[in-house]
Amino acid sequence: MKTRNFFKTLLLLVLLVVAGGNSATAQTPHFPTENASWSVYSFSNYQSDTLEYYLAGDTILYDTSWSKLFHKNPQGDVVYCGAIKESDDIVEIKLPDEEKRLLYDFTLAVGDTFPYPPFHFGWDVYTAMVVEQIDTVQLANGEFRREIVSNMVTSGTFEEIQERWIEGIGSVHGLLFPLNPKLLDVESNEEFTLVCYSEDGELLYHNPRFASCMTATEIEDAGENDRGVQIYPNPARDHIVISTADNTQIRTIIIPKSNCTNFSNQIVHFETTFQ
């Protein structure tokens, strides 16, 4: 009898250990606070760019510790973007000279909404993302994560956007995309795309469309248009040369001006009109 009770007790202990191990494996992955990087590719206004966002160091804000967020381009230029803090799967960000804002809520379920800064198309104003589906995505290390999938927002013609958030990583459109979402122009292949995500030196996510995490910044080749415009060097860093086959005069050059969360057009040259 004592032997049978001993084995019952041993079996119970084994089951408890296994259950405890499974419970630990199933825990929600928290958003990183250090040693994490996101590579984000963008193509907008006919110019491509790749930025690496990364966490390095911490700072005290609102009487608590926040992780410092930076980004750098392929040339190594570094910009301080702000600070990030995660608590109970809620991620907040504090941009320079702004109050803290909600960045992610990984507790969302189907039917829940997530407020977005208003963005417009025609008569419609979009102010929230609606969760349509909770999916699962497998990372490069074999781990499975929840993926929060939103409704598709479209202009009905050539512009649309759908959000997908990978738990503990962020949007497939880039870490800070929820701060400044926009309808993407499908006709011109406009995109903001998460290329890679690494944590503690381990590559956990790699978009198979891209051969490497830091794609070279390029300017779209204008050499084949009907005016014979050539732009070089490509890629470019500090300056570019623009020439035309028939010496056509150029009126305006518009180059996207970027910061941590936004791309906006900036006129950098104004001269004479096309002849």
Round to whole Å and give the CA distance between 169 and 36: 9
Structure confidence at residue 158 (pLDDT)? 75
128, β-bridge pairs: 115
Determine which helix (DSSP H) or strand (DSSP E) holds 197, and give its type and residue range: strand 191-199
Pairing of strands 252-258, 241-244: unpaired
Structure confidence at residue 212 (pLDDT)? 87
Strand, coil or helix: 22: helix
The CA-atom distances, in angstroms, between 147 and each of 66, 72, 131, 144 are 25, 27, 10, 9
Round to whole Å and give the CA distance between 229 and 235: 16
Structure confidence at residue 21 (pLDDT)? 40
E-strand stretches of 22-123? 36-44, 47-61, 64-72, 78-87, 90-94, 101-105, 113-121
Structure confidence at residue 46 (pLDDT)? 81
The CA-atom distances, in angstroms, between 201 and each of 34, 35, 73, 74 are 11, 7, 19, 19
Contacts of 123 (CB under 8 A, 6+ apart): none
Global pTM value? 0.69
Contact indicator for 164, 178 with CB cutoff of 8 Å: no
**Within 13 A of 114's CA, how many CA atoms are on the CB side?**
25
Selection from 235, 240, 236 nearest residue 253 by Cα = 240
Round to whole Å and give the CA distance between 221 and 46: 9
164, β-bridge pairs: 149
Determine which helix (DSSP H) or strand (DSSP E) holds 266, and give its type and residue range: strand 263-270
Determine which helix (DSSP H) or strand (DSSP E) holds 258, and give its type and residue range: strand 252-258
Strand, coil or helix: 269: strand
What does the pLDDT profile of the chain (275 residues) look like in tens digits? 444 554 444 444 433 333 344 333 434 578 999 999 999 999 887 888 899 999 999 999 999 999 999 999 888 899 999 999 999 999 999 999 899 999 999 999 999 999 877 765 555 666 788 999 999 999 999 999 999 999 887 766 777 888 999 999 999 999 999 988 888 888 888 899 999 999 999 999 999 988 888 764 444 444 444 556 666 655 454 556 677 666 666 655 555 445 676 544 444 444 444 44
